[in-house]
Chain A
Amino acid sequence: MRNKIFQEVLDEAPKEVEIFVRLYADLVLLINSVLKEKGLTQKALADQMDKRPSEIHKWLSGEHNFTLRSLAKLEAELGVKLIEVPKPHKTEREFAPNNRPTLHVCWKKEVSSQQEDVIQVDWVNASTMEQTYKTPNAG
């Protein structure tokens, strides 16, 4: 059973809210876990980063928004990846020469004075753009 007003507020929340709270929670857990694992206090972390303890406290207690720069500094100091951005779908690996697809292209070609049309199949290697012609009438 869920309270009615609570359910209504949940229903009104856009998708981005759900994404934000999960990201936030994951970041909180990860930073605290790394600090614990390394036996670091906030003061020790401040010393390592050459910052005032109050500044680190603000980072970790919500009085300061994380920026990409502050996350990068923290990531460098803790030695743990805090945020990972996935590569675009078409990665470089997928377009590596050996993985490049071969395109089959067909078109009509005028081959005689009688304007006879024949089909020519053109094999194009997408990596080198080299073409290999296979013409039905050839040979």
Chain B
Amino acid sequence: MNNFTLEVFDDEGSRCTFYTVRGTDELQSETEKFFARYRQDAILKKPLQELAKFLEIVIGEEDGALEHYFKFENRAQALPPSGNFFIEEVMINYGNFPLRLYCLRISESLVVLFNGAEKTSRSAQEGKTSMVFHEANQYARKIMDALLNKDIRIGGDQRTFVSYDGSSETIIY
């Protein structure tokens, strides 16, 4: 996996800021790829809008990233010397929602969104989600490593990532 930056995806809500990741040699962030892929899809356009509104209103503006809104998709993975992380799905847990968007929930006020895909199998490791789920795990592990190594830290407002030198540009190697 190449170097990537953590960049703000949406910080306009009063309860939660969403970050995303973008490869340093890529034009689009991972979450942009997800939204761009499905916004013109005749069947998945509506669920995509529901997911977008869910992020904007429920999590971003009104409730924050409450646990009930996420589904744990993998087992806790221990990171030395301490710390566990879960890759979680932001999902509308209603009526076989067809899309999966993966994320790393740092807290109720800070979430990193990755890529996602259409759910075509019971397991995230299979079907159309397998590749993006695998990548989400890699991104999440690198972010957690960077936090543990203090290459990046969470800002005083609990809603931003800050580089070791205090700048807001957070490149992860």
Contact mask for chain B residues 15-56; partner A; CB cutoff 8 A; 1 contact, 0 none = 000001000000001011001100100000010111011111
Does B97 lie at the interface of the complex (its beta carbon under 8 Å from any beta carbon of A)?
A: yes
Does B9 lie at the interface of the complex (its beta carbon under 8 Å from any beta carbon of A)?
A: yes
Flag if B68 contacts A1 (CB, 8 Å).
Answer: no
Collect the chain B residues with CB atoms within 8 Å of residue A61's CB. 71, 93
Does B144 lie at the interface of the complex (its beta carbon under 8 Å from any beta carbon of A)?
A: no
User: For residues 1 through 24 of chain A, which have their beta carbon under 8 Å from a beta carbon of chain B?
Assistant: 1-3, 5-6, 8-10, 12-14, 17-18, 20-22, 24
Does A63 lie at the interface of the complex (its beta carbon under 8 Å from any beta carbon of B)?
A: yes
Flag if A9 contacts B93 (CB, 8 Å).
Answer: no
Flag if B57 contacts A9 (CB, 8 Å).
Answer: no
Flag if A63 contacts B48 (CB, 8 Å).
Answer: no
Q: How many residues of B contact A (CB 8 A)?
A: 36
Collect the chain A residues with CB atoms within 8 Å of residue B31's CB. 3, 6
Flag if B97 contacts A21 (CB, 8 Å).
Answer: no
Flag if B9 contacts A6 (CB, 8 Å).
Answer: yes
Collect the chain B residues with CB atoms within 8 Å of residue A64's CB. 95
Collect the chain B residues with CB atoms within 8 Å of residue A8's CB. 39
Flag if B9 contacts A3 (CB, 8 Å).
Answer: yes
Flag if A9 contacts B49 (CB, 8 Å).
Answer: yes
| Known contacts A2-B12, A5-B32, A9-B35; A21/B96 CB under 8 A | no
Binds B, one of A25-33, A71-79, A99-107, A113-121: A25-33
Does B92 lie at the interface of the complex (its beta carbon under 8 Å from any beta carbon of A)?
A: yes
Flag if B53 contacts A17 (CB, 8 Å).
Answer: yes
Number of A-B contacts (CB under 8 A): 91
Flag if B92 contacts A5 (CB, 8 Å).
Answer: no
Pick the contact of B10: A6, A18, A22, A66 (CB < 8 A).
A6
Kindly state the separation between the CA atoms of A32 and B93 in the bound complex, as whole angstroms.
13
Does B63 lie at the interface of the complex (its beta carbon under 8 Å from any beta carbon of A)?
A: yes
Flag if B91 contacts A13 (CB, 8 Å).
Answer: no
Task: Tell me whether chain A's interface is mostly helix, strand or loop, or mixed.
Answer: helix
Flag if A62 contacts B95 (CB, 8 Å).
Answer: yes
Q: Please give the distance in Å from A59's CB to the nearest CB on chain B.
A: 10
Collect the chain B residues with CB atoms within 8 Å of residue A3's CB. 9-10, 20, 29, 31-32, 35
User: For residues 53 through 98 of chain B, which have their beta carbon under 8 Å from a beta carbon of chain A?
Assistant: 53-58, 62-63, 66, 68-69, 71, 91-97
Does B108 lie at the interface of the complex (its beta carbon under 8 Å from any beta carbon of A)?
A: no
Collect the chain B residues with CB atoms within 8 Å of residue A63's CB. 96
Kindly state the separation between the CA atoms of A115 and B112 in the bound complex, as whole angstroms.
87
Does A127 lie at the interface of the complex (its beta carbon under 8 Å from any beta carbon of B)?
A: no
Flag if A62 contacts B32 (CB, 8 Å).
Answer: no
Kindly state the separation between the CA atoms of A1 and B36 in the bound complex, as whole angstroms.
18
Flag if A22 contacts B52 (CB, 8 Å).
Answer: no
Kindly state the separation between the CA atoms of A9 and B32 in the bound complex, as whole angstroms.
11
| Known contacts A3-B10, A29-B66, A29-B68; A62/B93 CB under 8 A | yes
Kindly state the separation between the CA atoms of A20 and B96 in the bound complex, as whole angstroms.
15
